[in-house]
Chains A and B, each alone.
Chain A
Amino acid sequence: MRDDPVVVALVNRAVDGDKGAWDELVERYAPLIWGIGRRYRLTPADIDDVGQGVWLRLIEHLPTLREPAALPGWIATTTQRECFRLLRAASRVDPVDPAEQRDAVEPAVAEEEVLRHEQRTIVRSAFGQLSQRCQLLLAMITKDPPTPYDEISRQLAMPVGSIGPNRARCLERLRRTPALAGLADDSGTNTGKSTGTRR
């Protein structure tokens, strides 16, 4: 993911003035900026400001970005800085943790948000590879609050009794998509778990 050739190509095209490539970069990383802003409990209006600051700095920074793979980390760190600037300037919001220095960019937070963002992107792309029926079923189940089974049954014309088994089947397919299988293997390796014993 970090060495995603797609990102490298997008960055190069954006530097050459390709608006379409820029749009794709924005689609890809807007959730990362949004997530970090929420983490610092900024209001939506403030996150808009943070976003503008980050995008403008990114435009400035793109031509000198030697390692496009480092882009998510750069965005996360810059977003954090912009959040701090805003919190400091306005002093309207209490620091998230008074024990922490507000000015100190916390690499752990940035790194963690980047990893989360990458995982979510992978999971969404895996989800997109499922059949439409599986997508519908899982979307209804993961809704908050979850869609009641009789409602699912009605909408998908699926007997209530087979929702459970279908759910399990769809999740298994999700697990087996190449994107997710890779993720699961990685985490398995990291924790020393056996990766070969999937049921």
Chain B
Amino acid sequence: MTETDWNDDGQLLEVLRDALVTEQEVPRAFVEAGKAAFAWRTIDAELAALTYDSAWAGLEAAPVRSAESATLRSLTFASDGWTIEIELTPEGLLGQLDPPAAGEITARTDSGVLATGRVDELGFVVLKPLPKVPYRLVFVADDGPTILTGWVTP
């Protein structure tokens, strides 16, 4: 950072402009989302961050459509020890945990639960209906940790 000469009116104005502009630049929605994050503090979970989203690739590389269901979008979340792959289909959300583990999975917003599903022994789950508002998934293994994914924005 260059040293500011506080006695110079021009430089002081520049510092002031920078301070005022920076504040205005931060979107209110960004600040509000940060405040809302407090709702998640009671969930003692391992965070799984988004590592892949088919929406990133755009139209050129649309997700492979499987025979039984038309996948609208696929996403992958990963923490140190876990991977959660999800596919959003018209029938609902298909999820696969790796390594496989049985447990409960819920789709939650800041304020409540949208859907709950049972994850089978093979780590597979179907969540219905497909939530229409942004949510995160909370997976609670029967005999293990809790995992919280990043936001899924439909």
The B interface, classified by DSSP as helix, strand, loop or mixed, is: helix
Given A34-B26, A90-B56, A123-B16, 17 new contacts (CB under 8 A): A14-B38, A19-B38, A31-B26, A51-B30, A51-B33, A55-B33, A59-B41, A89-B50, A120-B22, A120-B23, A142-B16, A144-B17, A171-B13, A175-B7, A180-B6, A183-B6, A187-B3
| Cβ-based interface call for A2 (8 A) | no
A186 CB to nearest B CB, Å: 10
Q: CA A47 – CA B30 in complex, angstroms?
A: 9
A35→B35 contact, CB < 8 A: no
How many interface residues does B have (CB within 8 Å)? 39
Task: Return the contact of B50 from the options A27, A49, A55 (Cβ within 8 A).
Answer: A49
B30→A48 contact, CB < 8 A: yes
| Cβ-based interface call for A9 (8 A) | no
A21 CB to nearest B CB, Å: 10
For window 116-156 of A, CB contacts with B under 8 Å fall at 116, 119-121, 123-124, 127, 138-139, 141-142, 144
25 sample A-B contacts, Cβ–Cβ < 8 Å, listed by A number: A14-B38, A19-B35, A26-B34, A30-B30, A30-B31, A33-B34, A34-B30, A49-B50, A56-B40, A89-B52, A112-B1, A120-B18, A123-B16, A127-B16, A127-B20, A138-B13, A142-B20, A142-B21, A144-B17, A171-B13, A174-B12, A174-B16, A184-B7, A187-B3, A187-B4
- A116: chain B residues at CB < 8 Å are 1
Closest to B41 in A: A59
List residues of B whose CB falls within 8 A of some A CB.
Answer: 1, 3-4, 6-7, 9, 12-13, 15-23, 25-27, 29-31, 33-35, 37-38, 40-41, 47, 49-52, 56, 148, 150-151
**Contact pattern, A 155-199, Cβ under 8 Å of B = 1, otherwise 0:** 000000000000110010011000010011001101100000011
List residues of A whose CB falls within 8 A of some B CB.
Answer: 14, 17, 19, 22-23, 26-27, 30-31, 33-35, 38, 44, 47-49, 51-53, 55-57, 59-60, 85, 89-90, 92, 112, 115-116, 119-121, 123-124, 127, 138-139, 141-142, 144, 167-168, 171, 174-175, 180, 183-184, 187-188, 190-191, 198-199
- B26: chain A residues at CB < 8 Å are 30-31, 34
- A199: chain B residues at CB < 8 Å are 7
B6→A124 contact, CB < 8 A: no
B31→A27 contact, CB < 8 A: yes
